[in-house]
Each structure stands twice: as structure tokens, then as C-alpha cells.
Amino acid sequence: MEKEEIQALIRQAFQARTFAYTPYSHFRVGAALLARNGKVYTGCNIENAGYTPTNCAERTALFKAVSEGERHFTAIAIVGSMEGEVNRLVTGPCGVCRQALYEFTGPDLTVIMARTEEDYIVTTLGALLPYGFGPANLEADDSQSPT
């Protein structure tokens, strides 16, 4: 990805973060997920008093995109910080989000973890989730067949 594309995606993640619902942790996260067709789906973290139903920003963006028919993605930018603090480098997505993203992207998704538009790390989902488990793992393996 070009620097300008990365920075635009980071800006959209920061905008998404403004909608975060975080009355318990006060840690606001925003994500911007780039579809292969160029459309961007944003998400924020949404907490719940029961904790388990809490949804991360990355999955919010992913589920929004999938619920609108999108299935192919190329990159995701993630930003976050405590309310009132300078931005932190969020080393996400979390394990659950990595697995959810892997379902649709495999290891090649570009992951951008940003503190600012100029201070960010670019990696891949495969680097964050080596030996990921995806749809291909559930395909029949005829090489194991006794016939």
C-alpha cells in the first residue's frame, strides 16, 4: 500500500473511534477495513456490562461489511487510546478478531497499527496469526483416504 492510502485508512479509523461505547474500560478503539473493491467499512468497540457480549472495533467493521455482502478485504487500520490520553500503539487485533478476519482474508490481510498518521506499524495477519485456521482447513483431504 502507498503511504497516502495507509494514512487515509488511519484517518478513517480515528473517525470511527469517536463513536466507541466504552463506559467500563474507557479504552476507545477505531478500525477501518478496506475491501478489495475500495470501499471502507469502519467500526468501533462497543462494551457491555456483561463483558462477554463486548465487541471489538475490528469485528464491528468486519461484521458490518459482511452483513452488507462484502467478503474480500485487503487491509485494516486500528487506532486506540484511553479517553483523554495521547494515542497508544494498539497491537491488535486481539486473538478473536484475528480469527474472525482470517475467515475472510487468510494470512495476506495488511494490518496497520497506528499511533498517528505518521507513526504506525504495517504487518500482515499471517505474521500475527501464524498457522491460522480457516475454511481450507475444513476441506476434505482425499490424500488421507484409504482407497
58, 68, 83, 117: which one is catalytic? Answer: 58
Instruction: Specify whether 103 is catalytic.
Output: no
Contact in structure between 43 and 54 (CB atoms under 8 Å): no
Beta carbons within 8 Å of 31's beta carbon, 6+ residues apart: 13, 16, 42, 43, 44, 56, 57, 58, 60, 61, 76, 77, 78, 79, 93
Residue 72, all three cell numbers: 474480500
- Where in 8-93 does DSSP place strands (E)? 27-35, 40-44, 73-82
Q: Decide if 9 contacts 17 (C-beta within 8 A).
A: no
Q: Residues with catalytic annotation?
A: 58
